[in-house]
Amino acid sequence: MNVDFIFDFASPNAYLCHKAITELEKNHEVKFNYIPCLLGGIFKLTNNQAPMIAFGEIPNKMKYEFDTAFNRFLKQHQIKNFCMNEHFPVNTLLILRGAIVAQKNNFFESYVDVVMIGMWERSLKLDNAETLHELLTQYDCPADLLIEQISNPEIKAELINNTNQAVEKGVFGIPSFFIDDELYFGKESLREIKDMLLESSETF
């Protein structure tokens, strides 16, 4: 089974999904196709808002979403290294363009791992080339190549195109997933996807 994963490093829920996806791919016949998209662009195109803005005046919902449900997911998936980024929200335009560069130069998986660590385990402010270069160098990613290509017009255009296409398919937030053309939204959707994988394996 192939699953498209619409993500932005800006979302802590995208980090949680990334960690859970690693285990799903290890234990099931599934491959997640990561598609970097700009969450701010998705919000703008769909007239949506970040949950902290949309529900900021509903304290019980905020407590459930960002405390109860969040910590439940951490426990269920044995995610131990998460820390809320002290600079949140971080402008992720640069590191998303970097993801496109990494895709084109065959180090996408390692790049995503490293940037997720930087954002959600080390609490780095990855909105500038200097900090990104330093992080990538520490993990032996080709930092010079990435910084050299990150401002190319075709890189910028591809990120915009990814974002527009996601919205055209029905995306309104992140994390989002597609199986064929069917949309699944939110980190809890991984439970549905896992159930589908289990059902599929039982038919063979």
Q: Which residues are catalytic?
A: 11
Query: Which of these, 175, 152, 172, lies nearest to 36 by C-alpha position?
Result: 175
Dig out the tokens for 89 from the structure. 């929200």
Query: Which of these, 147, 156, 153, 152, lies nearest to 93 by C-alpha position?
Result: 156
Q: Is the peptide bond before 175 cis (omega within 30 degrees of 0)?
A: yes
177: left (phi over 0), alpha (psi -120 to 50) or beta: beta
Distances (CA, A) of 126 to 93, 120, 121: 10, 11, 12
Distances (CA, A) of 12 to 4, 91, 101, 117: 18, 13, 22, 11
